[in-house]
């Protein structure tokens, strides 16, 4: 049963779903997933999904559908098998005729035994098992790593990807702005300045304002009463907070108030290079602090970019941000291509342009990413994103970690390599042993392969294919790649 906490607090082990080992804090309003384990504390929750509607049931269903899918390479195997079986039948008849015409006495016995041995040794069981066994083991291992292949075809398509295009907000970044920098002028303390700034910004409707208010709440600061609030369009806001006059805004607002921002020039330059827009706070006519609010990059993002480069892939970023901010983020992360200032409806066109450079995988999480996920050669949805994005994707990254992209591509390459190994040995095995079963060694060495040994050899080929496929259970993606 999935649900939503209505009362109480606890820590939940969600490693079954996300693969993350650390427990997650849960309080009123937080979602809980059936099958995860309560660590400490107690809580009451309201059921939101039961039976087949639960997340666990959906995961099981997606894995089963992927495991039952037929990859394009299987179609090739089916075509080969379509001709292979009649060819073996013809070889068996030819073997029978040759032994009946030229074999020693009793010729009919030798003809029947060798013809049957050819039929048994050439049984295409191993060929039939080569692809589906690898698919089942590969997709199962992917589920253990938090990578769900919603469509089996994606398992093959990912191996040929040359470019990975990433949405920025919610994919490369955490998806919500927060206070990232607060540098104080001499004579001011953090608690006083942040509480005053949060008090004033609480009256503002700007998205940045909410991040400042949340920062004060996280630090448990008491926010003073605010009076005489005023918003100066294009500059900033001002008000009286706890008896002090507080002004918050851009550098041009400080200049308008007659305050010199030069003491913070180095900090402002650093923030700009990191794609963070600096704000200034003044209290009672004195410059108090420089601060910045930004949507921070996820902790796993730099590692994920290095992993993709380690696989020999180009990485592109598609974002609606202005070009300067996008270029700064791309420069810091080592992203190869940047498509900035893209409206939601323009993401499909951006994906089409990038596809001209090679086979493309697109990674996104929002409703506005769904068309681009469908347009890409392979769409990968971050599992912490919206349902519509997940439905439009071919692969779902349950943990929300961007390293899941490189895990999925590496697993695709390993699975397809495993399938090719299986097919090679299945065909090579049959090709090598058919002449032996037909009696090619009889004239020189007087040796024949009995049907019983032929049956054993045929079974061993299937065992070999199964054993090779099971090696995928030990697949472990590389955790780090050189920068």
Question: Strands, E, within 102-160: which ranges?
Answer: 147-149
pLDDT band at 306 (very low <50, low <70, confident <90, very high): very high
Tell me how far apart the alpha carbons of residues 180 and 330 are, in angstroms, rounded to a whole number.
Answer: 18
Quick check: helix, strand or coil at residue 120?
helix
Quick check: helix, strand or coil at residue 166?
strand
Res. 21: pLDDT tops 60: no
The per-residue pLDDT for 483 is 35
Quote the distance between the C-alpha of residue 302 and its chain's center: 14
The per-residue pLDDT for 482 is 38
Quote the distance between the C-alpha of residue 341 and its chain's center: 24
Res. 44: pLDDT tops 90: yes
Cα 92–Cα 86–Cα 459 angle in degrees, nearest 5: 65
Q: Please state the φ and ψ torsions of residue 220, each to the nearest 5 degrees.
A: 70, 35
Question: Strands, E, within 190-301: which ranges?
Answer: 226-232, 236-241, 244-249, 277-283, 286-294
Structure tokens at 101: 């015409």
Res. 164: pLDDT tops 60: yes
pLDDT band at 481 (very low <50, low <70, confident <90, very high): very low
Quote the distance between the C-alpha of residue 439 and its chain's center: 53
Tell me how far apart the alpha carbons of residues 395 and 177 are, in angstroms, rounded to a whole number.
Answer: 27
User: Measured between alpha carbons, how far apart are the two ends of the chain, in Å?
Assistant: 43
DSSP 174-217: -SS-EEEEEEEPTT--HHHHHHHHHHHHTT--SHHHHHHHHHHH
Cis before 106 (ω within 30): yes
For the chain, what's the residue count? 483
User: What burial letters (b/e) apply to 366-378, b meaning 16+ CB within 10 Å?
Assistant: bebbbbbbbbbbb
pLDDT band at 430 (very low <50, low <70, confident <90, very high): confident
Chain-wide mean pLDDT for the chain?
Answer: 83
- Look-up: residue for tokens 């380690």? 310
Which residue in 399, 400, 404, 422 sits closest to 137, CA to CA? 422
**Tens digits of per-residue pLDDT, 338-366?**
988 776 667 888 888 998 988 999 998 76
> 305 or 365, which is more confident?
305
Which residue in 55, 58, 70, 10 sits closest to 37, CA to CA? 10
Give the alpha-carbon dihedral of 26, 28, 34, 37, to 10 degrees. Answer: 30
pLDDT band at 162 (very low <50, low <70, confident <90, very high): very high
Q: Which residues are catalytic?
A: 167
The per-residue pLDDT for 48 is 93
Quick check: helix, strand or coil at residue 22?
coil
Res. 289: pLDDT tops 70: yes
CB 113 within 8 A of CB 450: yes
Tell me how far apart the alpha carbons of residues 137 and 54 are, in angstroms, rounded to a whole number.
Answer: 24
CB 386 within 8 A of CB 366: yes
Tell me how far apart the alpha carbons of residues 118 and 277 are, in angstroms, rounded to a whole number.
Answer: 76
């Amino acid at each position: 049963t999935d649900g939503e906490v209505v009362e109480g607090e606890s820590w939940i082990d969600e490693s079954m779903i996300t693969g993350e080992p650390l427990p997650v804090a849960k309080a009123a309003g937080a979602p809980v997933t059936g099958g995860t384990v309560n660590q400490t504390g107690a809580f009451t929750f309201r059921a939101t999904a039961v039976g087949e509607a639960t997340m666990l049931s959906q995961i099981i269903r997606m894995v089963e559908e992927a495991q039952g899918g037929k990859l394009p390479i299987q179609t090739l195997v089916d075509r080969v098998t379509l001709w292979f079986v009649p060819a073996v039948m013809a070889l068996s008849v030819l073997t029978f005729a040759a032994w009946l015409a030229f074999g020693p006495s009793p010729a009919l016995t030798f003809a029947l035994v060798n013809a049957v041995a050819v039929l048994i040794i050439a049984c295409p069981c191993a060929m039939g098992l080569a692809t589906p066994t690898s698919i089942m083991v590969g997709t199962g291992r992917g589920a253990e790593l938090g990578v769900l292949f919603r469509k089996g075809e994606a398992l093959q398509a990912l191996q040929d990807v040359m470019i990975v295009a990433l949405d920025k907000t919610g994919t490369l970044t955490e998806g919500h702005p927060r206070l990232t920098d607060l540098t104080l002028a001499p004579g001011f303390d953090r608690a006083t300045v942040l509480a005053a700034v949060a008090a004033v910004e609480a009256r503002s409707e700007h998205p940045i304002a909410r991040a400042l208010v949340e920062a004060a709440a996280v630090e448990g600061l008491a926010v003073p009463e605010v009076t005489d609030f005023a918003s100066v369009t294009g500059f900033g806001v001002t008000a009286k907070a706890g008896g002090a006059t507080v002004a918050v805004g851009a550098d041009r607002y400080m200049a308008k108030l007659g305050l010199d921002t030069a003491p913070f020039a180095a900090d402002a330059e650093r923030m700009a290079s990191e794609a963070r827009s600096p704000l200034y706070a003044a209290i009672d006519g004195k410059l108090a602090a420089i601060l910045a609010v930004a949507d921070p990059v996820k902790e796993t993002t730099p590692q994920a970019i290095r992993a993709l480069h380690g696989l020999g892939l180009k990485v592109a970023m598609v974002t609606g941000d202005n070009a300067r901010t996008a270029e700064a983020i791309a420069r810091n992360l080592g992203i190869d291509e940047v498509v900035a200032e893209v409206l939601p409806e323009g993401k499909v066109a951006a994906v089409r342009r990038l596809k001209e450079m090679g086979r493309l995988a697109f990674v996104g999480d929002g409703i506005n990413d769904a068309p681009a996920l469908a347009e890409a050669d392979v769409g990968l949805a971050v599992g912490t994103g919206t349902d519509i994005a997940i439905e439009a994707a071919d692969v779902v990254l349950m943990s929300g970690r961007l390293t899941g992209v490189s895990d999925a591509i590496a697993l695709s390459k390993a699975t397809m390599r495993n399938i090719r190994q299986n097919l090679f040995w299945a065909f090579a095995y049959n090709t090598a042993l058919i002449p032996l079963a037909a009696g090619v060694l009889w004239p020189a060495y007087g040796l024949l392969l009995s049907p019983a040994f032929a049956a054993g050899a045929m079974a061993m080929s299937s065992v070999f294919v199964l054993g090779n496929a099971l090696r995928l259970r030990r697949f472990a993606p590389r955790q780090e790649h050189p920068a």
